[in-house]
Amino acid sequence: MTLAQRYKGIIAWFEEHMPVVNTELHYNNAYQLLVATMLAAQCTDKRVNVISTALFERFPDPKSLAEAEIPEIYEYIRSVTYPNSKARHLKGMGEKVMNEFGGEIPDDLDKLQTLPGVGRKTANVMGAVLFHKNVMPVDTHVFRVSARIGLTRGAKTPLQTELQLSKHIPAALLPTAHHWLILHGRYVCVARKPKCRECGLTPWCVYFGKQQKETGKTE
């Protein structure tokens, strides 16, 4: 099977079985999505959603974050991963948005990455989910699943994964494909023991093919 055939088969399967997908983070506007995405780094969307209602009630906009004390922000997010650094980043983000962007979350991905706590992945999530950019955010699920099923070859970093996926997936499909791979990694192609018996991608999956060859059965 060629790489092009693998991409064609996997994309076709997702288009048939997961035609409508979106982020599982709860948000109502660009500010809320940015905050939620920052908090979701190395943390589950489920945990972020648990705390976000109270967080957004207390801090409904960048101005409220900019004016808040870090210890108070920490109290609202203490149950997420790395709450100390994320509290500092949230306050810094609020301050920079107020001071340099007139209180509005920028829709330019390079400008987004100048905000404290906002890297390429977070900026790309904003672009893919909210700003209609043809970009491919790469989180741990996308990185793992892409390598496991054979969409990427030898990618050692998220950027290398992003570049390989962006080369082979039609640009207009990149935001959707991002969600396909995340959800597949979250619920089927899980890290420790992928659920191959439940997976529709086995006809194209490199990992499954190797397991079949070596053991004659799925894991």
User: Is 108 annotated as catalytic?
Assistant: no
| DSSP string across 46-109 | HHHHHHHHHHHHH--SHHHHHHS-HHHHHHHHTTSSSHHHHHHHHHHHHHHHHHHSTTS----H
Rounded to a whole number of angstroms, the CA Rg of the chain reads 19
Q: 151 and 7 in contact (C-beta within 8 Å)?
A: yes
- Is residue 63 flagged as an active site residue? no
Give me the long-range contacts of 153-161 (CB less than 8 A, separation at least 24). Answer: 153/3, 158/120, 158/121, 159/120
Catalytic residue, chosen from 91, 96, 121, 133, is 121
Q: Are 163 and 169 in contact (CB under 8 A)?
A: no
Report how far residue 34's alpha carbon sits from residue 47's, in angstroms, rounded to the nearest whole number: 16
Q: Which of 111, 139, 156, 217 is catalytic?
A: 139
CA distance 169 to 167: 6
**Secondary structure percentages of the chain, helix, strand, coil, to 5:** 60, 0, 40
**Hey, what amino acid is at 155?**
A
Among all residues, which ones are annotated catalytic? 121, 139
